[in-house]
Structure 1
Amino acid sequence: MDRSLNKLLVHHYKKIMIALALIISGIYLVQTVSDITSWKSNYNYFTSEKSKEHFEKQIKESYSFDDQEQGKVFLYFDLNKEETVYTDSFEEYKNYNLTVFNPNEDANQLAFNSYPFYNEHFLQFLIIFVLSGILLFLLDLKSNFNALLFTSKYKRSTIYWNKYYLIGGTLSLSLFISKIISLLAYRFFIPNTFLNISLKQHIISSFSGWFTLVSLFILCSFLGLIIGNWLFGLAATLTILFTFQSFLSNIDYIVQTFFLNEKDLASKVSTNMLSTVLPLRQVTTQPFNALPLLILIFLSAVVLFLGQFIFESITLENSGNFIIIPKLKRIIQIVIIIYGTITFASGTFLLTFFPNEKIEYTGMVINSFKIGLILLALYLLTDFILFNKKPKIIEKILF
């Protein structure tokens, strides 16, 4: 690492690095303290005579209802079995309410009883890591800091890696330390009997989330590296965030249609659908599915090293374009069209040409027309954004 370059970058990024470290550690500190304090308060209540008296009162009141659950208290609703669970045991009632990492998918659980298996506070950190990744290179491109660095004595490859060391290192190290402190706090201040999660599960849970967020940061930084236009760049990022779940759902639909038979559909898809195994969705202490995480890590490793070669070939005169590397434009266009087609047209395509039930000819024509319009719209939109080509029809209307 070049010391003089490192001093320059630290001076430039110092406020950003401090802000990121404080935000990440602050989120963990507030949430961890809040969760433990809340559990302690609950523990004091459920081990008091007042709680037992309240439980016995509920038992007595249950006899006023003419149903088979007389003499029992509502515990939770089991979403898996779709049945309500009752109990007449105060110990069971107390232990359930004091269990922190509760395996029951219960719509009535308190917030600290709903534990995401991959990591904690994912949504907040997703926003932080995605924005930090996109702005890592895009911000300097617009602030002319890159122009200063490019005309300096420093190698571009050195500049590229030093940026990752400072900003990426601040993000990943702050998150890593915060997760360790949070994990230790849970295990030190709450008895293991009420945690309901082994140390191994807890470590896998927390640090698979760490790998996920760091990988997303690298992938988003690659986007920020090749994007040169703020308006189109942020619009594209928001579009991906809001449509990604639909994209995953349609991938599931394609897998079900072409790769799974009816016998496997019920047993395999229910546990392996992409929309449930990815870190955004998987919850509770269910078995860990490593494949999506390994794919995410592999992709981030590829773009991390690919990014160095792209950074070395950036020319600042293209910085106002959506994609600042001209050679990548056609590839990006194909990727956008494929992504858009899967997201917006694959469901209609499969229902039309691979239907479970016979479809009328009129419906096939209408659906085919819809698919054609979507493909045409994606092509014209990408042509305009990437190559600045206005469709002739629009030119005639405007001029």
Structure 2
Amino acid sequence: MNKQLFQLLWRHYRKRLIALGAISLLVIIGISLADAGTWVVKPGQRLLSDQVNQWMLYQFSNRGTVSLFSFWLLFVFWVGGFLLMNQDLKDHFNQFLFTSGYRRQTIYWAKLLLGLGVLLGITVMTTGVQYLVYWLKVPAGVTFNLAWPGMLASWGIGLANAVGMFAIFWFAALIVGQTGALIVTVSGFTLSVVGWANVWSEWIKMTPVQSEWFSALGWVVAALILFIWGSVLYARLSLEHNGEYLMFPGLKVPVYIVFVLYVTFLFSVNAGELAPGMTAFIISALFGYWWLWRPRFSRLRHRSDAD
């Protein structure tokens, strides 16, 4: 990757990324202090349970809340995808990049590497502060034992989930050109996916450890697909559609089909009856058609003025 390109991107994104890191630092201090307030432990006891010796995500102790990888970081990565892709449509930075002489594929992957690298740095920094607060708040005579299985599993599963969250907003912000609609769409989709993942793990009768690792693998695969697909679309991004719901008109039909099928499935999977599924199908089909193919108000006004 071109060093000058990284410097150019960093100068453009540094304020928002530094602000995100500063906010994360303040939030994680608050979370760490709140966790410490839940500890009920006496001298001679160990704070972490033996569960930390298992290859699973460690979030709670039998003596209070102890997180080895904070759920807050999932939100940080999620927002990071939005900040790195959506704002470029609003401040016309994409137009500048496309005329800078760099290949679009080079710009895309440089932006992605820079974003993930900075977010990983924020993760290391905030988690280090979190562990420091934990260490300072441990009562005298109490053992704060750690084990590699719990540490590595917590970081591996946590980072996999975080990168998946990043990929969702990163890809959506590439194809959706309206900020408000983007936030509503991604928020609803993310919540439904997280809820559906829990239902899926119960259906296939997985143990908690198997469910966590299966979910992490799913997020990694999904992120790779979205990153590669995003690079293909970024090379074909047309600034003429900036401000429209979909920046790529050719995606209207696929998005419409996926939306209708996904919403219908969500509302009928647990019902076991035909009526809920048909109702969800009709409503989602009508709403999706109106949402994707409705005339823009500006065009209607223009036609009215012309008449």
Q: Is the 2:38–2:65 Cα contact (8 Å) retained in structure 1?
A: no
User: How far apart are the structure 2 equivalents of 1:249 and 1:220?
Assistant: 21
Alignment match of 2:285 (pick from 379, 384, 391): 379
Tell me the SS of whatever aligns to 2:156.
helix
Structure 2 counterpart of 1:206, one-letter code: W
Q: CA deviation at 1:193?
A: 7.9
Q: Is the 1:246–1:343 Cα contact (8 Å) retained in structure 2?
A: no
Q: CA deviation at 1:210?
A: 2.0
Q: CA deviation at 1:225?
A: 1.0
Tell me the SS of whatever aligns to 2:86.
helix
Partner residue of 2:86?
138
User: How far apart are the structure 1 equivalents of 2:285 and 2:97?
Assistant: 37
User: How far apart are the structure 1 equivalents of 2:166 and 2:195?
Assistant: 22
Q: CA deviation at 1:242?
A: 3.9
Q: Does 1:15 align with 2:12?
A: no
User: How far apart are the structure 2 equivalents of 1:9 and 1:249?
Assistant: 38
Q: Does 1:247 align with 2:153?
A: no
Q: Does 1:114 align with 2:45?
A: no
Query: Highest relative contact order (Cα 8 Å, sep 6+), 1 or 2?
Result: 2
Partner residue of 1:225?
174
Per-residue CA deviation, residues 16-60 of structure 1 (Å, 9 max, x unaligned), is 121223233444455557756986xx66xx34xxxxxxxxxxxxx
Q: CA deviation at 1:177?
A: 4.5
Structure 2 counterpart of 1:212, one-letter code: N
Q: Does 1:152 align with 2:100?
A: yes
Q: Is the 2:201–2:211 Cα contact (8 Å) retained in structure 1?
A: no
User: How far apart are the structure 2 equivalents of 1:32 and 1:21?
Assistant: 16
Q: CA deviation at 1:369?
A: 3.8
Q: CA deviation at 1:238?
A: 2.1
Q: Does 1:234 align with 2:140?
A: no
Change (3 A) 1:156 1:383: same
Per-residue CA deviation, residues 115-152 of structure 1 (Å, 9 max, x unaligned), is 45xx5330x22322212212321111122111222232
Structure 1 counterpart of 2:112, one-letter code: Y
Per-residue CA deviation, residues 280-330 of structure 1 (Å, 9 max, x unaligned), is xxxxxx678422211211221122122111101010111222221122222
User: How far apart are the structure 1 equivalents of 2:123 and 2:236?
Assistant: 32
User: How far apart are the structure 2 equivalents of 1:189 and 1:115?
Assistant: 12
Higher Cα Rg: structure 1 or 2? 1
Q: Give aligned-pair identity as a percent.
A: 22
Q: CA deviation at 1:167?
A: 2.4
Q: Is the 1:160–1:311 Cα contact (8 Å) retained in structure 2?
A: yes
Q: Does 1:319 align with 2:242?
A: yes
Q: Is the 1:21–1:174 Cα contact (8 Å) retained in structure 2?
A: yes
Structure-to-structure mapping, 1:263-282, within 5 angstroms:
269=205, 271-272=206-207, 277=208
Q: Is the 1:32–1:182 Cα contact (8 Å) retained in structure 2?
A: yes
Q: CA deviation at 1:202?
A: 2.1
User: How far apart are the structure 2 equivalents of 1:131 and 1:177?
Assistant: 17
Q: Is the 1:247–1:339 Cα contact (8 Å) retained in structure 2?
A: no
Structure 2 counterpart of 1:15, one-letter code: K
Change (3 A) 1:287 1:101: farther
Structure 1 counterpart of 2:91, one-letter code: S
Partner residue of 2:48?
100
Number of residue pairs aligned between Structure 1 and Structure 2: 288
Partner residue of 2:118?
170
Q: TM-score, normalised by structure 2?
A: 0.78
Tell me the SS of whatever aligns to 2:220.
helix
Gaps of 5+ in 1: 48-93, 104-108, 257-268, 278-285, 353-367, 391-399
Structure-to-structure mapping, 1:275-294, within 5 angstroms:
277=208, 289-294=212-217
